[in-house]
Amino acid sequence: MRKSAILLTSLILSATLLFAGCAQYPDLTEEENEMVSEYAVSLLLKYDKDNHSRLVDTSEFLNKYNTALQERESARLAYEAAKQLEEETRRKEAQEQEAANGGYTSQPVSPSNDGTGGATVIDSSESVMSVEQFLDAEDFSIKYAGLTLTDSYPENSTDYFFAMNALENKKLLVVFFDVTNNGAAQQFNVYARNVTFKLNINNQGYKSVYKNLLEDSLDEYLGDFNSGETKRLVLIYEVPADTVVSSLSMMVSSNTKGSVTSNLE
């Protein structure tokens, strides 16, 4: 930089001598000559591409950037920990619920023609009852609408805490139900019924569905329906990744009413 300044100063002085030979040029004091030199140096620095990084102090911006990276990584680790804890909790709750309801046994299946989509239902008191009646929701119809095996539900969700993810070598079995309000506008409240939903996959025995925070979970649903409105709700259970579902049935149990079952697949 000093060499460049000296060079530019020399050029200016040379130009001064040149012009002095062909035109009248004002005499400058030593102080004025120094001012001209300083101005010339500042111009040189302004247009010197190798000097720009030294003209702006970027340390503050780098510190903010590094801090943001650290906060983002901390948030990611916190999310991973919370997700793992939530998955472990819901599995433990499912196991505890399974143990608590171990005394429930199903009775021989009896068919019913109650307009609930061909569901076959029973209860422990041997009187035929539909799932809707068991839930004290006679104005509603609950119809099986298929199933899917997936790695996560909802798929492609951006909500970290209200989504479910299958463990390694596992899949989520998501069972869909179309719930329709056949009466006036009213509330569909499964949450208040204190019932347990179980699935029997490929005749391997009834297992409690996983508890979750999903808004469309049938086993703990609470929401308003307009007259004639249909909403799709789900039950979820985790299975080995290579599972092929050949048969599927559902049981709804209560401490006061016993249980009812419905053949789905």
- pLDDT score at 232: 96
Query: Which of the pair, 9 or 84, is modelled with greater confidence?
Result: 84
Residue 160, sorted as left (phi over 0), alpha (psi -120 to 50) or beta, turns out to be: alpha
In this structure, which CATH number among 3.40.50, 1.10.3470, 2.30.110, 2.60.40 belongs to the domain 107-263? Answer: 2.60.40
- pLDDT score at 106: 37
Is the pLDDT at 59 greater than 80? The verdict is no
Cβ atoms within 10 Å, residue 4: 15
- pLDDT score at 127: 44
Query: Which of the pair, 192 or 53, is modelled with greater confidence?
Result: 192
What gap in Å lies between CA 206 and CA 124, rounded to an integer? 15
**How do residues 34-48 score in pLDDT, each as one tens digit?**
676 666 666 665 555
- pLDDT score at 100: 58
* DSSP reduced 3-state for 113: coil
> Is residue 145 classed exposed, middle or buried when 0-12, 13-18 and 19+ CB atoms within 10 A define those classes?
middle
Indicate the domain borders of the chain.
Answer: 2-55, 107-263
pLDDT (average), residues 223-252:
95
Task: Answer whether 15's CB lies under 8 Å from 28's CB.
Answer: no
Q: Helix, strand, coil % (nearest 5) of the chain?
A: 35, 25, 35
Residue 57 in tokens? 């102090």
pLDDT band at 225 (very low <50, low <70, confident <90, very high): very high
